[in-house]
């Protein structure tokens, strides 16, 4: 197959693209031989708006320099800080053809993947992970990442800072992997580069350069380009049913009850609404969800009965009722665990977040006990699951017990 891909590439570079798209449709994750000039914005940015304008920061030069010398690179920052765009621009500047392994945050499975056993024709190889916090939610992520390390594939990843990074550290640690080992210069393996806020005056200059007149700037460069201003106006105009669903979805996001790619099952939303006694009156939940999808708050997959949330909207547009500051509390976790007591997937996701989300030091012991309860119940409910899935949840339980 590698020979076929190289042969098609020599005859027609688009042949490689066709094979890749076809494989993605079949759920297969694989590499693509590519030159920097062939890298397209949609390869990394997927469905996000792309503008040729790029504001280069000193951190972008550091990313490029780290790639040039063969280091793994972790780009860390808040939502809308420009992490994925910075990686895209750095890859575009590389001087040679390379093999690109790409994990997109909306990919649901890594069960089928292929690595070349050795560098092909001397071409360099990059494994690009968009949103590390989504990657670690996909079954089999540890095997894929371990294979990348074994095959000496250079790893380039983006990750949210704060509690999302803490969750990645925990989930990688549960599988015997270390985020610091991969991306800390102390070990000589890689570099972590943080993208922070830009000044208001610089934001005004950028907005003027690209002709944007209305925007809601929150310190992050992406907030200039993301339609937060428009979505905030829509949120204010939402009715009570719509706001109840969006607030509930925000709570589930804060509690980690989302699949990779910020996908959330409709049944989880329904259970959370019932738990929090938020009523949907006169219409069905699916009707409200379809309306919110039309308003572009998220995408709705009616076949799989799940929504794909826009993280920036959950963080910067949807607002909690007055007085709620730290929603991911012990009580909320307890309510969600109780509501999903027969759902092993939900319990696993909640358990992963519980250990890094203690809102007060005095709650840590109770949070840890709740986390162990989640993992134990997930194992009980997974008795008939495939051996690899059951073994993974048993490992989660063992690690949870070790914390306590």
**CATH classification of the domain holding 106:** 3.40.50
Query: 160 with 213, same domain?
Result: no
Please report the pLDDT score of residue 329 as a whole number: 81
Please report the pLDDT score of residue 118 as a whole number: 53
Please report the pLDDT score of residue 112 as a whole number: 55
Please report the pLDDT score of residue 56 as a whole number: 94
Longest dimension (CA), the chain: 65
Query: 111 with 135, same domain?
Result: yes
What is the mean pLDDT, run by run of 10 residues, along the chain of 404 residues?
Answer: 45 35 43 76 79 94 93 95 94 83 63 53 79 86 85 91 91 90 82 96 95 93 94 95 95 92 94 83 86 95 93 93 70 93 93 78 80 88 77 71 62
Query: 17 with 99, same domain?
Result: yes
Query: 255 with 281, same domain?
Result: yes
Q: Which of 175, 95, 162 is nearest to 135 (CA)?
A: 175
Q: Calculate the CA dihedral of residues 150, 41, 77, 63 and round it to 10 degrees.
A: 60
Token representation of residue 101: 């392994």
Token representation of residue 144: 């894929």
Query: 29 with 168, same domain?
Result: yes
Please report the pLDDT score of residue 55 as a whole number: 94
Last residue of a domain, one of 145, 173, 195: 195
Query: 144 with 7, same domain?
Result: yes
Query: 254 with 119, same domain?
Result: no
> What domain range is 277 assigned to?
233-403
- Please tell me the pTM assigned to this model: 0.83
Query: 149 with 261, same domain?
Result: no
Token representation of residue 399: 């690690």
Query: 40 with 187, same domain?
Result: yes
Query: 112 with 217, same domain?
Result: no
Query: 170 with 301, same domain?
Result: no
Query: 170 with 213, same domain?
Result: no
Contacts of 86 (CB under 8 A, 6+ apart): 57, 59, 60, 63, 75, 195
Q: Which of 295, 296, 294, 298 is nearest to 269 (CA)?
A: 298
Query: How many structural domains does the chain have?
Result: 3
Last residue of a domain, one of 211, 226, 241: 226
Whole-angstrom Cα distance, residue 254 to residue 337? 14
């Amino acid at each position: 197959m590698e020979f076929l891909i190289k042969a098609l590439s020599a005859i027609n570079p688009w042949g490689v693209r066709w094979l890749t798209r076809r494989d993605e449709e079949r759920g297969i994750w694989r590499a693509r031989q590519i030159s920097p000039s062939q890298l397209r914005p949609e390869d990394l940015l997927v469905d996000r708006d792309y503008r040729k304008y790029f504001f280069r920061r000193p951190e972008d030069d550091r990313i490029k320099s780290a790639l040039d010398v063969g280091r793994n690179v972790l780009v860390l920052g808040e939502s809308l800080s420009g992490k994925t765009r910075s990686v895209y621009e750095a890859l575009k500047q590389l001087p040679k053809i390379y093999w690109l392994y790409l994990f997109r945050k909306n990919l649901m499975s890594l069960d089928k993947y292929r690595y070349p056993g050795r560098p092909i024709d001397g071409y360099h190889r990059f494994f690009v992970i968009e949103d590390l916090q989504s990657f670690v939610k996909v079954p089999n992520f540890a095997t894929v990442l371990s294979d990348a390390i074994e095959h000496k594939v250079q790893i380039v990843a983006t990750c949210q800072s704060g509690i999302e990074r803490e969750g990645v550290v925990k989930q990688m640690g549960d599988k015997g992997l270390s985020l610091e080992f991969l991306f800390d210069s102390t070990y000589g393996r890689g570099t972590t580069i943080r993208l922070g806020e830009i000044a208001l005056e610089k934001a005004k200059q950028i907005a003027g350069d690209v002709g944007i007149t209305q925007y809601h700037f929150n310190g992050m460069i992406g907030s200039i380009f993301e339609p937060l201003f428009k979505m905030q106006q829509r949120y204010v105009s939402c009715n009570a049913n719509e706001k109840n669903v969006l607030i509930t979805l925000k709570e589930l996001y804060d509690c980690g009850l989302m699949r990779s790619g910020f996908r959330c099952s409709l049944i989880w939303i329904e259970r959370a609404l019932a738990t929090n006694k938020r009523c949907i009156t006169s219409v069905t939940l699916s009707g409200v969800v379809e309306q919110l999808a039309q308003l572009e708050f998220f995408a709705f997959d009616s076949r799989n009965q799940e929504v794909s949330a826009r993280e920036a909207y959950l963080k910067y547009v949807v607002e909690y009722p007055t007085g709620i500051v730290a929603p991911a509390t012990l009580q909320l976790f307890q309510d969600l665990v109780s509501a999903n007591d027969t759902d092993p997937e939900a319990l696993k996701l909640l358990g992963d977040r519980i250990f890094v989300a203690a809102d007060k030091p005095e709650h840590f012991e109770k949070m840890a006990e709740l986390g162990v309860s989640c993992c134990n119940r997930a194992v009980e409910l997974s008795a008939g699951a495939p051996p690899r899935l059951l073994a993974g949840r048993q490992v989660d339980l063992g690690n949870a017990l070790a914390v306590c």
